[in-house]
Amino acid sequence: MTTIPTTLAMIATSLTATTLMAASSADIDNNGDVNAMDLLSITSFLGQACDSDCAADLNNDGVVNTADIMELMQQWGPVADYVAPVTDTRSK
């Protein structure tokens, strides 16, 4: 039988590991905000395996699933320290 302190320690370890793995930004469209467009991007890939770098697999576990949606929800809103991409406005 698992005791409450042991259970709490297992939960804390799981949350720490998940947080450390979730290094990807949920701002998939790179507009400075994690919003509904990013959520739509993730949901369009739900259930799909990611063999290589996959922007929708936010926790890098190899599959796009509800854990990635939860990570997106934790990052919802403006992206801290966002720097907009520089575009060349000079005429050619």
Percent of the chain with pLDDT over 70: 77
pLDDT band for position 71 (cuts 50, 70, 90): very high
CATH of the domain at 58: 1.10.1330.10
Report the C-alpha gap between 90 and 92 in whole angstroms: 6
Report the C-alpha gap between 8 and 56 in whole angstroms: 30
Asked whether residue 71 is assigned to any structural domain, the reply reads yes
Asked whether residue 17 is assigned to any structural domain, the reply reads no
Report the C-alpha gap between 92 and 4 in whole angstroms: 67
Flag whether the pTM goes above 0.75: no
67 pLDDT more than 90: yes
Asked whether residue 48 is assigned to any structural domain, the reply reads yes
Q: What is the pLDDT of residues 1-31, one digit of tens each?
A: 567 777 666 676 655 544 444 457 999 999 9
Cα torsion 52, 57, 60, 61: sign: negative
Structural tokens at position 56:
């929708």
Asked whether residue 87 is assigned to any structural domain, the reply reads no
Asked whether residue 86 is assigned to any structural domain, the reply reads no
Number of domains in the chain: 1
Q: Which residue, among 62, 32, 31, has the nearest Cα to 45 in the 3D structure?
A: 62
Domain that holds residue 49: 24-78
Q: Which residues pair with 77 in a beta bridge?
A: 34
Which stretch of 2-11, 37-46, 67-76 has the lowest confidence by average pLDDT? 2-11
Report the C-alpha gap between 15 and 41 in whole angstroms: 24
